[in-house]
Structures are given as structure tokens and as C-alpha cells.
């Protein structure tokens, strides 16, 4: 079959890399793609939310499956767009429909879902500009640190955690009254702070059945020792060493099962990936921090390399409602990835720097993220440039290989964290 992947990051390069290995894939397209996807697929310069252009491409290339990478097109209803058009409604779209994508599109929607289905999560209340005074009063009932979340999509910047009550009140005002995050902060969720260690759980569902993929842990802060500004992710490790069988069992029973049951009860049409952000709190109890309606990036760059199944077979089973017939097989080895970023990221940075040394890499898989081809050279085009993934018998061995590979790579003002896995 002919397949289209939407997106242009390391996650989409990992999708394309895995799909291209399948004998079931005839032609593979990525829109818009990057210099890495160009090695395994045909890039087409179309934006991920340009639905009309995507439709034209699908018809022209006789594409039968669309795998959606990022959340934006899902929250804007790309799956519904296909279902509502006779010319393309036969195409399988991997990703939830718009109502279900609200699990990521609205923090309040996600919290209401979690409460309705008795899934463990932090206590919360939500507020608007009209109820900002009630928000101040609610903050006074909580202990520091204070967790404030813009309700809508805010490019990963909408969560603010503060230690000081007055600062938290000022931040709440800035979000609600001064529209700090624009439309995204017309509502704000204030949450109880959960103390513990985080991990991510990835679930595939066809709306009826589910399968759990390996866990992963990502490193969100720019600086070593988990310090400094939040980023999209600076590295990842899979499996998560502290996720014992007993703990994984709790995640499945208390969180995954009621989540999938909740989709059915609430009539949320969901064919796709569920990314459950979790925190392990005292007493070894998992609680949900957030849902994302897509795979994580850079977690995909360590999770997919450990999946032994033919990926297209798995995607087809998701689309056809036959996931129960699939046995997920996982590589026993650990996989790790280290993200190389442009100096200055996540604030201002320069682009267009040539990346050298790529053809000398043997022991790792370089998944391209913010990198593009220009005059036959691979140059930087974003903050997160490339995720260097390696396998190992242990995660320590895998991390060592990734760092050895990075030593052979270079671009002007390249930066990466040298302590991925430090806390495990």
C-alpha cells in the first residue's frame, strides 16, 4: 500500500524508517519531512494542517493510509476531514478524531475525563477571567509549589510551576486576564503538585482493543541535572529501569484499561497512539500528568527501534479493529537517544549550519529532526536537530554508543546534554 506520514521531526523520521522496512509498503511519502525522511521516503512540501493539499496528494498518489505525527492536525480534525469526504473516506487515518483529540487539546477536558473514569491524577480546579478571584482563593488553599496550566495547546510552554504564592497569583492573572498564551489561556487549570519521578507509557488502540508499547523516559530540561528551561525533549531511554513488572501492572489496571473503556463509554472515536504522561508518587503509585494523542518525540526514537513487529501490519490492525489478533514483540535490548540541538535553543538560535560526519556513523541511527537538505548538504533548520539512537545490552552501554557517535558529528554551536540517564 502507499502510505503518507504527516510531520517533519525525529518522530516522523522514526515512523518512516520503520514503515520503509515493511514489504507491505509500496510507496512512502512524508509531508513535509526533513533530510532524514528523504533517505527512506519521498518528501512532499505540504504543511500538516493544509488539509486540501493533503487530500490532493492522497488522490494523486493513491495513498491508502495516513499516519499523523503531531497533535495540531488531529486537534484541528484531520481524521474527521477524511471521514466527511466521499473521495477520501476509504483512506485509513491513524490518529483520533477531533472530539477525542481534545484529550490533548484541552487540559480541562482531559481532567474531566480522568475524574469521570476514576483514573488517578492530581486534584484540580479550572478558572476563567471572570472567576480569577476564585482562582486566587483556590491557590491559597494549596501548598507550594503551584502548578498552573493553560487549557489549550501552547507549544509545550503552557505549564508553569511556581514556589511563591504571590508569583502564582500574578501568573494566573497574566494567563487569564492578559492572555499570556493567547486563546490557549482563556481557561487555566490549577493542579495539586505531584512529587515523584516521571515516565511515559505508549498505548496503541483500534477503539476496542489495545496494546502497550515499551515505556520510555525523556529528559525535558535544557541543562544537565534537569535544570534550566523546558524543551521538547533532550534525550530518552527505553525501557525505564524503575518500571518493574508490578508497577507496569498497576499502570495497565488502574490507568490503561479505564482509559480505553472511557473512550468507549464517552463515544470518543480513537484509532491511534495514546501517550500517557505518568508520575510515580510515594507508595509506588502511578498518576496521570497528561494525555497526548500522538507519540512522543524523542520517545518514538527509542520505542519504535525496540518494536520487532512489521509496523505496517500493526498500523493496519489498528485501522481495521483487529489489534487483538496481533502479538507485540519487543527487542530485549535497551535503546537510548541523545538530542543534538542548536546553541541557544529553546530560545533564539541560528539555522543553516552544515552538519558534518553523518557518513561516519556506524553504531547508531541518526534520526533527523530540524535538519534539511540544501545544495546536497544536510543543514540545521530547527532547534532540535538530530536524535542519535543506539542499542545496548544495558541502557548505560547504549548511552555510551550514542555519545561515541556524537563525537564524530559536528555543526557550528552544536549542544547536547552529557548526562542523559543520570537519575536512573
283, 79 Cβ separation under 8 angstroms: no
Which set of grid coordinates corresponds to residue 405?
557517535
336 near ligand GLY, rule: CB under 6 A: no
Q: Which is nearer to ligand GLY, 248 or 302 (CB)?
A: 302
Among 148, 194, 379, 385, binds ligand AMP (CB under 6 A): 194
- Total residues at interface with ligand GLY (CB under 6 A): 7
414, 343 Cβ separation under 8 angstroms: yes
402, 421 Cβ separation under 8 angstroms: no
How many angstroms separate the CA atoms of 307 and 313, rounded? 12
User: How many other CB atoms sit within 10 Å of the CB of residue 315?
Assistant: 25
Q: Which is nearer to ligand AMP, 90 or 155 (CB)?
A: 155
Among 120, 277, 321, 357, binds ligand AMP (CB under 6 A): 277
Smallest gap, in angstroms, from Cβ of residue 417 to ligand GLY?
14
206 near ligand AMP, rule: CB under 6 A: no
Q: Which does 299 bind (CB under 5 to 8 A by kind): ligand GLY, ligand AMP, none?
A: ligand GLY
User: How many other CB atoms sit within 10 Å of the CB of residue 297?
Assistant: 27
**Distant-in-sequence, close-in-space partners of 367: CB < 8 Å, separation ≥ 6:** 10, 13, 14, 17, 36, 298, 301, 337, 386, 387, 388, 389
- Total residues at interface with ligand AMP (CB under 6 A): 11
Q: Which does 159 bind (CB under 5 to 8 A by kind): ligand AMP, ligand GLY, none?
A: ligand AMP
Smallest gap, in angstroms, from Cβ of residue 274 to ligand GLY?
13
Smallest gap, in angstroms, from Cβ of residue 305 to ligand GLY?
16
191 near ligand AMP, rule: CB under 6 A: yes
292 near ligand GLY, rule: CB under 6 A: yes
Q: Which is nearer to ligand GLY, 191 or 299 (CB)?
A: 299
86: exposed, middle or buried (Cβ count in 10 Å: 0-12, 13-18, 19+): exposed
How many angstroms separate the CA atoms of 86 and 96, rounded? 19
* b/e per residue 91-118 (b: at least 16 CB within 10 A): bbbbbbbbbbbbbbbbbbbbbebbeebe
Among 122, 176, 278, 379, binds ligand AMP (CB under 6 A): 122
How many angstroms separate the CA atoms of 132 and 156, rounded? 23
299 near ligand GLY, rule: CB under 6 A: yes
Q: Which residues are at the interface with ligand GLY (CB under 6 A)?
A: 218, 232-233, 292, 296-297, 299
Q: Which residues are at the interface with ligand AMP (CB under 6 A)?
A: 122, 147, 159, 191, 193-194, 198, 220, 277, 289-290
Amino acid at each position: 500500500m502507499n502510505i503518507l506520514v504527516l510531520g517533519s521531526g525525529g518522530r516522523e523520521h522514526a515512523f518512516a524508517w520503520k514503515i520503509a522496512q515493511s514489504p507491505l509498503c509500496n510507496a512512502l511519502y512524508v509531508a513535509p519531512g526533513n533530510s532524514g525522511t528523504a533517505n527512506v521516503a519521498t518528501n512532499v512540501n505540504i504543511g500538516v494542517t493544509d488539509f486540501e493539499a493533503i487530500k490532493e496528494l492522497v488522490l494523486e498518489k493513491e495513498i491508502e493510509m495516513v499516519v499523523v505525527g503531531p497533535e495540531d492536525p488531529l486537534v484541528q480534525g484531520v481524521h474527521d476531514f477524511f471521514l466527511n469526504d466521499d473521495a477520501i473516506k476509504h483512506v485509513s487515518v491513524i490518529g483520533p478524531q477531533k472530539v477525542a483529540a481534545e484529550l490533548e487539546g484541552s487540559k480541562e477536558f482531559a481532567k474531566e475525563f480522568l475524574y469521570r473514569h476514576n483514573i488517578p491524577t492530581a486534584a484540580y480546579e479550572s478558572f476563567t477571567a471572570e472567576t480569577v478571584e476564585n482562582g486566587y482563593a483556590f491557590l491559597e488553599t494549596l501548598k507550594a509549589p503551584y502548578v498552573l496550566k493553560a487549557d489549550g495547546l501552547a507549544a509545550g510552554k503552557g505549564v508553569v510551576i511556581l514556589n511563591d504564592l504571590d508569583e502564582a497569583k500574578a501568573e494566573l492573572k497574566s494567563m487569564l486576564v492578559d492572555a499570556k498564551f493567547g486563546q490557549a489561556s482563556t481557561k487555566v487549570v490549577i493542579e495539586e503538585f505531584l512529587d515523584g519521578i516521571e515516565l511515559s507509557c505508549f498505548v496503541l488502540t483500534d477503539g476496542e482493543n489495545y496494546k502497550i508499547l515499551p515505556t520510555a523516559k525523556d529528559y525535558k530540561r535544557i541543562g544537565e541535572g534537569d535544570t534550566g528551561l523546558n524543551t521538547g525533549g533532550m534525550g530518552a531511554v527505553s525501557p525505564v529501569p524503575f518500571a518493574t513488572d508490578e508497577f507496569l501492572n498497576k499502570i495497565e489496571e488502574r490507568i490503561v484499561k479505564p482509559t480505553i473503556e472511557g473512550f468507549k463509554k464517552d463515544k470518543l472515536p480513537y484509532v491511534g497512539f495514546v501517550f500517557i504522561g505518568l508520575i510515580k508518587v510515594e507508595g509506588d503509585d502511578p498518576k496521570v500528568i497528561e494525555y497526548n494523542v500522538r507519540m512522543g518525540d524523542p520517545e518514538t526514537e527509542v520505542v519504535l527501534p525496540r518494536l520487532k513487529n512489521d509496523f505496517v501490519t500493526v498500523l493496519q490492525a489498528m485501522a481495521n479493529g483487529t489489534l487483538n489478533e496481533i502479538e507485540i514483540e519487543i527487542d530485549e535490548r535497551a535503546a537510548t537517544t541523545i538530542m543534538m540541538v542548536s546553541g541557544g535553543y529553546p530560545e533564539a538560535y541560528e539555522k543553516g549550519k552544515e552538519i558534518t560526519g553523518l557518513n561516519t556513523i556506524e553504531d547508531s541511527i541518526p534520526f533527523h529532526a530540524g535538519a534539511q537538505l540544501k545544495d546536497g548538504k544536510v543543514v540545521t533548520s530547527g532547534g532540535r536537530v538530530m536524535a542519535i539512537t543506539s542499542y545496548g545490552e544495558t541502557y548505560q552501554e547504549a548511552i555510551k554508543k550514542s555519545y561515541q557517535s556524537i563525537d564524530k558529528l559536528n555543526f557550528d554551536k552544536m549542544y547536547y546534554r552529557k548526562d542523559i540517564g543520570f537519575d536512573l
